[in-house]
Structure 1
């Protein structure tokens, strides 16, 4: 598989300006309010804790809203993404808000080559990132390589059970339809829209994606020399993942309306690189 990066990059290059202009990301609020944080990072704060003074890298940073939010919490941030269009929007946001962030263009697997190894106190990865990667073990090795001894990984991600569900039908049933475990071949999607409201008619609509089981993710980190320090599953997700069957909660999170406790929506995983 050598072309998935080109296919997915074309899709994200086209999405980025639409996302930056959308009310969903609400980038104007960052310039209007110096204390504004993205909904995602605001949700993360109780588990994220104090990150002031840490050197952090946000992998798959997209248009930078979470990266700027982390910087506002006191971390010295680097953002990395493979989409030049997304990075252009991220740099605009940093400029508008007077936030010093180094944004670097690279796919995740190339991060140690462009950022060096062992230099970060924090690796942060947000919602909707891991599904674009074909090999979770390779990802875990990248995370371990970027961190200094004692450095920490923080990731909140869509739960692999959620990713394996088809859109819920009129009868309201939750049906497992797609792979839970990682497979070499991607799931190939051709979808005309994106997850924010926009009038843009997209041309690059094909994407290649993978699911990764929770056990696969944990095992990959352990094999890479990381120690798991926290794993929390949540009953909400920061977008309407199953349209027509979810309720919007205060703070921008969505939850399955009917018996939400039957479904893990997202999870937060934390791990530490072993000290030498």
Structure 2
């Protein structure tokens, strides 16, 4: 590993400590061991990168990591890991301590090789030992695997037949998320919203007083834009809620996502709220999103 790159990925360590030659040698030894295992074993190994999706395809991940191989040959995979600590075991393979999650167990035969020569970042305690900001990072060659899955939206519509007087009967939500993505008074408003965005929904379950639909797309909020030049080409104007007011925003529908672009409330050139009367009328006629 080049020293310049080694230094560049250890800014946090350098904020409190001084890198020494022993830190670089430690990283080089780890990298050599991982490269050796990479050559002698063509099957998934601890430290290899995995991409796939959990919760029945609703939550894709692209940089999961194989934490360990169990005695029965199954793999423990952390889907969204922090940089893992590693050590060398007696057999020459690496052991790992992984934080993050969620975790899942998978059979080796589930994994399909995507890239023979990828990279992953690891760490171990540096010359100062176990202390604040004392971990030294390094990058080593690994393989990238994929667990095939059928993509599914994590966005759904909940419809309450008899809401209370202050409650929207129709709400668009994200599994595991907080609050509503959009809220409507009538199914006609929901249909108009979906037609505008080019998306659809399908009935998933129904019980007395409640229905639930799966949406065809997820929603992704982007960082508030300051000027129109910040909005990507191909976006379509739409009225959106931003900082409590209805303003001119934009959306772009891709294969699986609706990207939402709202103006930053401090960007006066693009943040131009409707009047209170116009806001109330819009909300009554269209719902709010």
TM bucket (normalised to shorter chain) is under 0.3
Q: Which has the higher helix share?
A: 1
Query: TM-score, normalised to structure 1's length?
Result: 0.20
Asked which structure has the greater RCO (Cα within 8 Å, sep 6+), the reply is 1
